[in-house]
Amino acid sequence: MTARPHLTRALLAVTLAAAIGALAVPPASAADGDVTWGIQPSTPAGPDGRTQFTYQVAPGTTITDWVGVVNDSTVPATFRVYAADATTDYDTAAFTLIGSDQGSRDLGGWTTIDTGSAACADTNDAAEAACAAGLGVSVTLNPGTTKNIPFTIAVPQDATPGDHAAGIVASYATDGGSGGATVRQENRVGTRIYLRVDGPLTPALGVSGAVAGYQGTVNPVGAGSGFAGFDLRNTGNTRLSAQPVLHFAGPFGIDLGTLALPPVKNIVPGGTAHVTGLLPGVAPLLLLFADMTVTPLPGDGLAASDPLPAGATASAATWAVPWMLLGILVVVVGGIALIVFLRRRSRDRLAEDLAAYADQIREEARSEKEQVR
């Protein structure tokens, strides 16, 4: 199953496999062919060219808009359309959504698709998963047709100022399995919602968990690679991007190189991204120091006049030992020591043998003298 590329370029794509009693199997196909679909901002008359939903409103505002879902397949298909809170993927730093077994607590929970439910009450995990599976509306589309669906965003009166993020999802689910086990496969595509609530903006970025490492090489006199990583967390209330730079140095501040990493884009408030970098050509000088500098940037589509927080820094250190060279030195030194030891031992044995022979000669001479008498 695939998602229509030109409809999902502004999007988050998430694949969820929920297995009951077995591992997940590859996505199932519709009986008469693959299911291909897409979702994008729309109007009652059809798509309007937007790539995402963007709003700035006061607390208590209600927004009405439209989203279009298209079935590009050759077979009818049923999709569940619902909203979900957005977050920042820790491993990839990408914009993503909470799982389909979770209820939304923020913008996703404020967004009602047509007449469907938008949020779940705070309850245990099992009840929440059951509730989340029923959020939104179910839409059945014939091949090649599009449905434009209304939705509303009811911003609470007590909504916190700043940026909120979510996505509207069109999901296609199938049941499959083997050996009597049931596997439910859900594939989702969606379009982003960025909403800013009026009020004071307090942007902030934090860096934590800094680590450094060194990867040597089999070449005993060759340079290895310096590694550094850290967690970049948006602790403010605005969406932010950031430019991380790593600088590596040896003992006494010896410069070993600088690495500018790709910008981390659109970290949502409360989101954390794990950032790593690897710089080749770093000499093993026993100690390696990594300095991390993060320069905040406005999120995509935000005004350049948005306030930005101060930059953040962190440092870490690690051993950068030329183990291969040390191993060779150990072998060479050990070989020399062994040769010296064996030579000394041979000389000592020769001296002992000579001394014993001299004693034997003296003893024989003494015996001959006694016999002459």
Q: Which range (79-88, 298-307, 335-344) has the least confidence?
A: 335-344
Cα–Cα distance list, 108 to 96, 143, 190 (Å): 12, 29, 12
Residue with more model confidence, 262 or 331:
262
The reply to whether 214 and 361 lie within a common domain is no
Mean pLDDT score, 110-117: 95
Segment 277-301 mean pLDDT? 95
Q: Does residue 182 sit in the same domain as residue 212? A: no
CA–CA gap between residue 101 and residue 38 (Å, rounded): 22
% of the chain residues with pLDDT over 70: 86
Given the structure tokens 């031992």, which residue do they identify? 345
β-strands 286-298, 312-320 pairing: antiparallel
Residue 358 backbone phi and psi in degrees, to 5 = -60, -40
Domain match, 271 and 139 both: no
370 and 306: one domain?
no
Residue 371 makes CB contacts below 8 A (sequence gap 6+) with none
| pLDDT class of 17 with cuts at 50, 70, 90 | very low
Domain with 275 in it: what CATH number? 2.60.40.10
Among candidate residues 64, 86, 76, the one with its CA nearest the CA of residue 33:
76
Q: Same domain for 310 and 163? A: no
Could you tell me which residue, 8 or 107, shows the higher pLDDT?
Answer: 107
User: What is the reported pLDDT for 119?
Assistant: 87
For 165, the token pair is 């993020």
Q: Of 286, 305, 321, at which residue does a domain stop?
A: 321
Residues 316 and 328 in one domain: no
d(CA 281, CA 257): 8
Cβ atoms of residues 39 and 191 within 8 Å = yes
Is there a contact between 123 and 151 (Cβ–Cβ < 8 Å)? no
Two tokens, residue 127: 């009840």
Residue where a domain terminates, one of 164, 179, 197: 197
Among 172, 197, 222, give the residue marking a domain's end.
Answer: 197
Domain that includes residue 314, residue range:
205-321
Please report, for the domain that includes residue 81, its CATH number. 2.60.40.2310
The pLDDT of residue 123: 67
Task: Kindly report each contact of residues 56-59 with a partner whose C-beta sits within 8 Å and lies 24 or more positions away, as own/partner.
Answer: 56/195, 56/196, 56/198, 57/155, 57/195, 57/196, 57/197, 57/198, 58/155, 58/197, 58/198, 59/155, 59/156, 59/157, 59/158, 59/159, 59/197, 59/198, 59/199
- 26-83 pLDDT tens trace: 222 233 348 999 999 999 999 999 999 999 999 999 999 999 999 999 999 999 999 9
pLDDT confidence of 321, banded at 50, 70, 90? confident
Mean pLDDT of 292-312: 92
* Mean pLDDT across the chain: 85
Q: Are residues 140 and 58 in the same domain?
A: yes
**pTM to 2 decimal places:** 0.78
Question: In terms of DSSP H, where are the helices of the chain?
Answer: 107-110, 125-132, 323-372
